[in-house]
Amino acid sequence: MSASPAPTADPTSVTWRIENLTGADVLADPSPWVRAYEEVYAHALHLPDHRAPAFADRLAFSARREGFRLTSCHADGVLAGFAYGYPLPVTTGWWNGFTPLPGVDADEVTAEYPGRTFALCEALVPEPFRGSGVVERAFPLLVQGRAEERAAGLVAETNAHALDLVLRNGWTHVGDVEPHPGWRRHHALTMPLR
């Protein structure tokens, strides 16, 4: 499943297929998601947050979590993007080392209880499809029918494009966190789901 080239410059003339997959679906053949990730981040695979742990391992870990969902978006049969996540358990390392922005209540943001947070673990759109509305098409299906109160996501502090995109789509920057030891700092974001 190659992510390039884009089938057309006009997204309205494209046949879109957007679907939700379960963890079992993804674990049956993780190769399309791993290949797309490695293509999109080829320039950054040397960075700790792209290799330790490896994306394939992170994907497998997530796909085994209860409530996991991956939403894939294809344009004329070509993978145009995907996003996935799962509900955070009550005891989670997601917020470890969280540094709130001024005026943000860290205890309120980091408190987890059953049904509170759907963690958006990864979202990517290959270059040829950026600006074609993939995020706006796929994200509503990813969170459709979710029981969680909010979504939480992380954006690397150097990824200004992604940060701008999520902020324009209803997310709030609440602070920063280092997701794994040695990784770059990431902006922590939340968005109400109901």
Tally of structural domains, the chain: 1
| Rama region for 77: left / alpha / beta (φ>0; ψ in -120 to 50; rest) | left
**Would you say residue 61 lies in a domain?**
yes
**Would you say residue 108 lies in a domain?**
yes
**Would you say residue 185 lies in a domain?**
yes
Q: What's the pLDDT tens digit per position in 120-167? A: 999 999 988 988 888 888 888 999 999 999 999 999 998 898 899 899
Q: Residue 175's domain is classified under what CATH number?
A: 3.40.630.30
User: In angstroms, how far apart are the furthest CA atoms of the chain?
Assistant: 47
Q: What's the pLDDT tens digit per position in 161-182? A: 889 989 988 999 999 998 888 8
**Would you say residue 83 lies in a domain?**
yes
**Would you say residue 1 lies in a domain?**
no
pLDDT computed for residue 18 by the predictor: 95
pLDDT computed for residue 181 by the predictor: 83
**Would you say residue 179 lies in a domain?**
yes
**Would you say residue 52 lies in a domain?**
yes
CA 151 – CA 161 distance, rounded (Å): 20
Residue 129: domain span? 15-192
**Would you say residue 25 lies in a domain?**
yes
Mean pLDDT for 178-188 is 88
- The answer to whether the beta carbons of residues 166 and 189 sit under 8 Å apart is yes
The proportion of the chain whose per-residue pLDDT surpasses 70, expressed as a percent, equals 94
Mean pLDDT for 44-71 is 93
pLDDT computed for residue 40 by the predictor: 92
Tokens of 59: 């994907």
Tokens of 154: 């992380």
Predicted TM-score of the model (pTM): 0.89
- Burial (0-12, 13-18, 19+ Cβ within 10 Å), 148: buried
The proportion of the chain whose per-residue pLDDT surpasses 90, expressed as a percent, equals 71
pLDDT computed for residue 86 by the predictor: 97
